[in-house]
Structure 1
Amino acid sequence: MTILVSRFSRISRRTALGLGVLVSASLSLSACGSVEDSGNSAATSGSAADSSAQEWTAPEGLSGTLNYYSANPQGLTEELVSAFEEKTDVDVNVFSGETGKITAKLTAEADNPQADLVYLASWSAAMKQSKTGAFEKFTPETDGEVRKGWASSTGDFTGRDGSALALVVNTAALGDAKMPADWEDLADPAFKDKVIMPDPRESGTAADLITAMVDKWGEDKTWELFDKLFANGMQVQGANGPALDAVTSGSKSVVFGGVDYSAYSAIKKGEPLEVVLPESGTTVTPRPVLISEQSSNKAAAEAFVNFMFSPEGQAISAKNHMIPAVASTTASGDATDFDSTELLTTDLDGLAKDSSSVSEKFVTRYLA
């Protein structure tokens, strides 16, 4: 499911409040799959996310509308939009969906761009968009340093926050299996038919994970691992949301390469899940923000990006279990600690370059 709020039909937040309507009602609908739902049912202001975070002050004179294409988590999108609208006279229209659906929409609109601002869940997808030349070179204002490597070499996008891929385990569905500590543990017969993985054709993060494994271990070792996993009945299905749903329901025991923030959100709701960061390493994907070169409201778009990278905006990301882009931001206590996470690679541009070809080999080998 994707949701488009038309710039012509959208009820502005201020009008909605006056009518007693829930702000940005369309945003309360979840995109298909729990990975896209951060677990927040209502928007709150940025200052409520972390009372110690410095409140952002908007430039004067911001008005009009912004079309914001956002790869979820939904609750995080809602909170950021709500806080920004409260501080400005700008109404934000949101098209919400998975990265693939957003990039498909961008491609379809290439001759008549509609998006002012784009947030993606994949570095590789942002690199492909950068090659179109459709996005503005822009460096967001921050009150601290953005993590090393999270600003693109092309200058037109920066990772706003990030997520790690993990083994997401339903502890109530383990049965006789021991808690896994690394990727290869899932090849144990105790996990026969109990493992599910997002499809790299639908999940950019899954594609990047496979590419990072090939980068670290080489193709022979990587394909040997997947040969064992598929021989043990690992299933590949859908994007990140459906994979986590299968494990949360107990029909599967483990997500291979599950997105951490979705699992943390589910744990907070009481689901019997555990997030295991594999000992041999994983990927942390910075989620990039881009501003359209053709935006009709660049001042507002740039201000919104600056808000996202402000202490207040970064605190909202952290509250939603994301890894903040600005290292000085205090991360959520129940989220992934970036500094202690073993990474398969830090070469994000290299991942972007090789992701398509490695994914094609994976699909030909296992899914054709």
Structure 2
Amino acid sequence: MKVSPHRRGIVSGATMILIASLLSACGGGAQPASTSAAQSIEAKDSANLPSDWAKVVDEANKEGEVIFYTTLPNDQATKMIAGFNTVYPNIKVRIVTDATASLANRYQQERTSSGGNSPADILHSSSFEALVAAQQDWFHDLRGEKDFLPSLADFKENATTEERKRTVLVAAYPWQVLVNTNKVQGSAEPTSFKDLTKDEFKDKLIMSDPRTTDYFVAFYNALAEKFGPEYLRGLAANQPKFVADANGVAQSVAAGEKAAGLPLNAGRTAALEAAKAPVKRITGDSAIIAGTTMAFPNKAPHENAARVFGNWLLSAEGQELGCDVQKVGSLNKLAKGACEKTEIPEGSTFQKFTVTSAVRDEVLGSLGLK
């Protein structure tokens, strides 16, 4: 069973906006995309294209733009967009990105101040889950509107659920521990998250701060459910350093500031590993499966283009590129290639994406953050 990761990209500081498009191989401007050619590519992925899909593609080409709110690292997002533009060269994708803790708040403020109209066409990050759950009437019901994203028919059932029917799990991956191999060697190497409560990791841990997003609260709660209520207090006893996001965790461990950090995934550490940084990811016997979700606002500026780009991201072609670029797997049953490198066994624990206020208080209190 294959699945792909959320590699949640984070850009600290000022918000970055990037317009990415791919020029034709001839060196001139982008040539008009053939609707029939685009349809034939998507037809390979799904036998469920609705009868009006050609009209959706034509209207998308006229709209010419998608506004894509995402926390993907810019290098990964740009590669995904380049792949999309080989099929749809007339649809530019404008990336709006910010720190994980900021982007959902920014979107909510912008939508509220615009009289309910959405400033974005697609929200691509699990950090939006709490907002989607709280403002369900702002988003399309992906289980109810079955023709909205035809490629979703090729996904396993848990890509969307009745509890989470306004977002789709576009990537899935196991959370991992990252260690600095100069500081953690041999028998000292953890074999699971549980080992991080041992005395040898005192003052040597760095962790993503659950106060920044409920996504991290849900992760720590999943660990508590797996190892028992004392587990988080055991982590807190080792006096970890908390930072806002996974990028900070990865950089600290790679620099040797801390010996181990959590939670990380392959997408977040790929650049460090390629640069031969002294780091190693460990899943061990305690995998918690997470992922990136995607939501589609109503009252969006370019709804047809959003459907076309979103459907391509979910197609076997889009998923295979995403698995390669982001180092993740896929829930699309037709996706092969790089998606087969990240395997999620049957019965794996999928973390929840939202939590109750009682759970949040319990997690923060157990970690000494409240």
Greater RCO (CA < 8 Å, at least 6 residues apart)? 2
Tell me the TM-score range normalised by the shorter chain: 0.7 to 0.9
Alignment partner, residue 88 of structure 1: 89
Q: Is 1:114 paired with 2:126?
A: no
The one-letter amino acid of 1:260's match is A
1:66 is matched with: 66
Q: 2:129 corresponds to which residue?
A: 126
113, 137, 150: which is aligned to 1:141?
A: 150
Preserved contact between residue 197 and residue 258 of structure 1 (Cα < 8 Å): no
What corresponds to 1:43 in structure 2? Answer: none
- TM-superposition CA deviations, 1:290-318 (whole Å, max 9, x none): 11101122111000011001121101111
> Secondary structure at 2:138's aligned position in 1?
coil
* Separation in 1, partners of 2:340, 2:45: 24
Counterpart selection for 1:329 from 331, 335, 338: 335
Aligned to 2:327, the other structure's residue is in SS state coil
Is residue 261–residue 335 contact of structure 1 (8 Å, CA) maintained in 2?
no
Deviations 1:303-337 (A, max 9, x none): 00110011211011110201213144236389542
d(CA) in 2 for partners of 1:294, 1:325? 28
After the TM superposition, which residues 155-166 of structure 1 pair with which residues of structure 2 at under 5 Å, given as runs?
155-166=165-176
Q: Tell me the residue number matched to 2:15.
A: 3
**Paired residue secondary structure (1:332):** helix
> Aligned partners of 1:333, 1:148: CA distance in 2, in Å?
17
Alpha-carbon offset, residue 197 of structure 1: 0.9
Q: Does 1:242 align with 2:248?
A: yes
Give 1:85 deviation, angstroms.
Answer: 3.2
Measure, in 1, the Cα distance between the counterparts of 2:205 and 2:275: 23
Partners in 2 of 1:212 and 1:143 — Cα distance? 27
Q: Which of the residues 253, 266, 279 maps onto 1:260?
A: 266
Please give the alpha-carbon distance, in whole angstroms, between the structure 1 residues aligned to 2:278 and 2:337.
23
The TM-score with structure 2 as length reference comes to 0.75
- Shift, 1:265, TM fit: 4.1
After TM superposition, the structure 1 = structure 2 runs for residues 354-365 of structure 1, keeping only pairs within 5 Å, are: 354=356, 356-365=357-366
Q: Give the superposition deviation at 1:165.
A: 1.0
SS at match of 1:207: helix
Q: Structure 1 pair 314/4, CA: closer, same or farther in 2 (3 Å)? A: same
TM-score (norm 1): 0.76
Q: CA deviation at 1:234?
A: 2.2
Do the aligned partners of 1:162 and 1:323 also contact (CA within 8 Å) in 2? Answer: yes
Counterpart of 2:316 in structure 1 is: 311
Q: Percent identity?
A: 16
Partner-residue secondary structure (3-state), 1:338 = coil
Q: Does 1:289 align with 2:294?
A: yes
CA RMSD of aligned residues (A): 3.2
Cα distance in structure 1, aligned partners of 2:153 and 2:307:
18
Inter-CA distance 186–85: structure 2 relative to 1 (3 Å threshold): same
Once the two structures are overlaid, the 10-residue window that deviates more, 162-171 or 331-340, is: 331-340
Does the Cα contact within 8 Å between 1:170 and 1:250 map onto a contact in 2?
A: yes
Q: Alpha carbons of 1:131 and 1:234: their partners in 2 closer, same or farther (altered >3 Å)? A: closer
Q: 1:233 to 1:249 in 2, by over 3 A?
A: same
Which residues in structure 2 correspond to 1:334-349 (within 5 Å)? Answer: 336-339=342-345, 343=348, 345-346=349-350, 348=352
- What is the alpha-carbon distance in structure 2 between the residues aligned to residue 240 and residue 186 of structure 1? 17
Deviation of the 1:347 alpha carbon: 6.6
Instruction: List runs of 5+ in structure 1 lacking aligned partners.
Output: 21-53
Amino acid at match of 1:128: L
Partner of 2:202: 192
* Distance in 1 of aligned mates of 2:27 and 2:106: 33
Matching of residue 352 in structure 1 with residue 345 in structure 2: no
Q: Give 3-state SS (helix, strand or coil) of 2:258's partner.
A: coil
CA offsets per residue over residues 240-268 of structure 1, 9 Å max, x none? 11011100111111113223321244223
**Equivalent in the alignment of 1:212:** 222
Q: 8 Å contact 1:197–1:243 — kept in the other structure?
A: yes
Q: Which residue does the alignment assign to 2:4?
A: none
Counterpart-to-counterpart distance in 2, 1:145 and 1:60: 23
How many residues in Structure 1 have an aligned counterpart in Structure 2?
A: 320
Q: Distance in 1 between matches of 2:332 and 2:81?
A: 19
Letter in 2 for 1:234: P
